Structure 1
């Protein structure tokens, strides 16, 4: 067998066998936001940029994103960095499904997601404050509730083959950081004074995008998709405001799963308390490495060591292993060398069949889908195969 055929064999058969009662849950930071499609330094950004590309159905980078999804064929997938643009009718996510996923990419079987969920996020939503303390009140970027140049940048979307119980969805976009007991405090390094003025601290939201609890009905059973996209713990200064926010965003989800610590939490409808279901899967780009030079001790462990979370199966890939010298690089989910994206199922109510990361090796014909930043995304699709146990 020649090398090309062998590589194709590996690419096709590296995905685990999926049994009839198995549900494949995935997360994918798709980088489908305006600045990804415009020249560097462009001053005008909005959700309309993505919308126009989705209407055409022909953008090569988005077609590659769709092909990756078709090849892995998840039943439920969270898309991170998918611009939220509420003015669009139909919605941007509906156009992505119709014009890209519903159409075969490179002879792959088209895939449909009749159930979709989108909601507002904090990125780019203006405040009247100088939150980054640079002396200017811009209303966007570092002065927005979450870093973004326009409302909805770096949003989220959930696609599902199974019905979403929309009436039971809980979102936490407006939860105030100050309302978390023991929230990490940010101080100015030179003076030790609080980073945020009192009126700012009274208004700052914790979630840089949003936190979602989305119940999905599968064969009469509920599976809760717990989704988030915490801020990267970088792009700040010695005050470490993003690092501390990342920690507390992840803590919010950990506390949500812990009844004795969840009493302070309230959702966007004012309902208080934490997780009330049985089965869940945590998904998203958590921007929190679990090992290596980007690992911040005690951050991702809030979830991976949580008693309700099954973190025993770590999705891996041969492409990730090939991408760096570290012995643990097979678990990397981003080209910049870290495990940033997670699919973490609950211990109760679920049996894990396996998982993986879509990262073909360089010798594979499918490496064209991930060979550089412009091919698809700087992140890789991560999936987990689970079986819903009997109640």
Structure 2
């Protein structure tokens, strides 16, 4: 059995290493206000068509320097026409040498609709107005597809076997964390539900989407499990975003085990979960810190301490270490001081060779690539290098 990679034929036996990365690239319309365009997916389409935007060129340079085989992008606006969206990014930026670097190619890509900016008829943020967008959308967004997701791969994607969970209803999760307004007098049982009955029945759990994208790496299948849970802030005492973040992460944790994920259905209404002994890599901006700033005990631990997940090798960087004097700051992936972005492989089927966060120190010539959000993003690219072990 052979697979074609960048024009060369490689036997399945020769494919034994895999570098997987995630990168919140801040490529959504409000990051390009200087263009003077109204926020919509047309803003990113324009940026991608030119090949000349400095922030995107820096994003491309970072990707070329790390050169992952599989790359998850968060905050990459959903554009239905891939030739104007993710494929334009590959063609006009990644296939073009940045600063003399070797271009990279991703012949296989996947994008799909997300809940951000998808309008509802409800006043979900309880500001007295049902506006459809913003806080009243299924996931916070000013227009459909804002803060979207895209997967890039050097290896074939098994498109027919993809599962998405954009429309899974929050109330269908067993024992969900229901947001309530605490009783002012502290009376137990007198709390007021944040969402009314009709809203709660309709509300989707995923703020963007949850994906299971199988990638064919030689004769093996690697499930890329991608998500971008909502930030656990921008709310009030009801903690609706914090509770949603917890349950978004829980959905993926339950999906890993057939016994835990029996309640989960995909966007086709089919009950699905991973089978035993599946190779997987969890990727994305999970908006949940494992230590330090904004760490909420027991949230990200649903994944990092999951028996099927390998969190033994934590990606680090010199730049992150300089953010504060704390001993754990070298694991930060976001400029404000937190590990928010994750690449977590399964314990089954992989050996972890190395891992890192692209965050050069201020003394490095490459610091120009990460000095602020205008340079690239407020998040850093995180990568893990894996060896694929033989099936047992």
Compute the TM-score of the two structures, normalised by the length of structure 1. Answer: 0.93
Counterpart in the other structure of 1:5: none
Q: What per-residue deviation string (whole Å, max 9, x for no partner) do you get for residues 34-75 of structure 1?
A: 0001159x8931000010010000000000000000000000
Distance in 2 (CA, whole Å) between partners of 1:178 and 1:89 is 33
Specify the alignment match of 1:275 in structure 2. 274
Q: CA deviation at 1:366?
A: 0.3
Q: Which residue of 1 aligns with 2:8?
A: none
The equivalent residue for 2:4 is none
Map of 1:4 onto structure 2: none
- Does 1:136 pair with 2:129? yes
Alpha-carbon distance in structure 1 between the residues aligned to 2:260 and 2:372:
43
How far apart, in 2, do the equivalents of 1:330 and 1:102 lie? 31
CA RMSD of aligned residues (A): 1.4
Task: Map 1:1-391 to 2 at 5 A.
Answer: 21-39=16-34, 44-86=38-80, 88=81, 90-190=83-183, 192-276=191-275, 278-391=278-391
Summarize the Cα distance change of 1:271–1:282 in structure 2 as closer, same or farther, 3 Å threshold: same
SS in 2 for 1:67: helix
CA drift at 1:89: 5.7
Change (3 A) 1:278 1:89: closer
1:319-351 Cα offsets, whole Å, 9 max, x none, are 100122221100000001000000000000111
Alpha-carbon distance in structure 1 between the residues aligned to 2:226 and 2:247: 15
Instruction: Give the direction of change, closer, same or farther, for the CA distance of 1:306–1:157 in structure 2 (3 Å limit).
Output: same
Moved more, 321-330 or 220-229: 321-330
Moved more, 290-299 or 204-213: 290-299
Cross-structure match for 2:10: none
Residue 188 of structure 1: how far off its partner (Å): 1.7
Aligned residue in 2 for 1:6: none
CA-CA distance at 1:189 after TM superposition:
2.8
Distance 1:153 1:363 in 2: 35
1:223-280: CA deviation from partner (whole Å, max 9, x where unpaired): 0000000000011111100000000000000010122221110000111031126100
Residue number in structure 2 paired with 1:13: none
Between the aligned partners of 1:152 and 1:273, the Cα distance in structure 2 is 25
Q: Secondary structure at the match of 1:90?
A: helix
**Distance in 2 between the 1:336 and 1:310 partners?**
26
Q: How many residues are treated as equivalent by the alignment?
A: 371
Cα shift at 1:154: 0.2
Give, in whole Å, the separation in 1 of the partners of 2:197 and 2:255: 27
Q: For the residues of structure 2 that align with 1:389 and 1:76, how far apart are their CA atoms?
A: 18
- Give the superposition deviation at 1:192: 1.3
The Cα of 1:21 is off from its aligned counterpart by 2.9
Q: What CA distance in whole angstroms lies between the structure 2 residues aligned with 1:377 and 1:348?
A: 33
Q: How far apart are the structure 1 equivalents of 2:82 and 2:37?
A: 25
Measure, in 2, the Cα distance between the counterparts of 1:52 and 1:302: 40
Asked if the contact 2:15–2:217 (Cα under 8 Å) also holds between the matched residues in 1, the reply is no
User: How big is the shift at 1:293?
Assistant: 3.2
Show structure 1 runs of 4+ deviating over 3 A.
none
SS in 2 for 1:141: coil
Query: 5+ unaligned residues in a row in structure 2: which ranges?
Result: 1-13, 184-189
CA distance in 2, matches of 1:345, 1:369: 27
Partner Cα distance (1:110, 1:189) in 2: 55
- 1:87-112 Cα shifts (integer Å, max 9, x gaps): x3624000000000000000110000
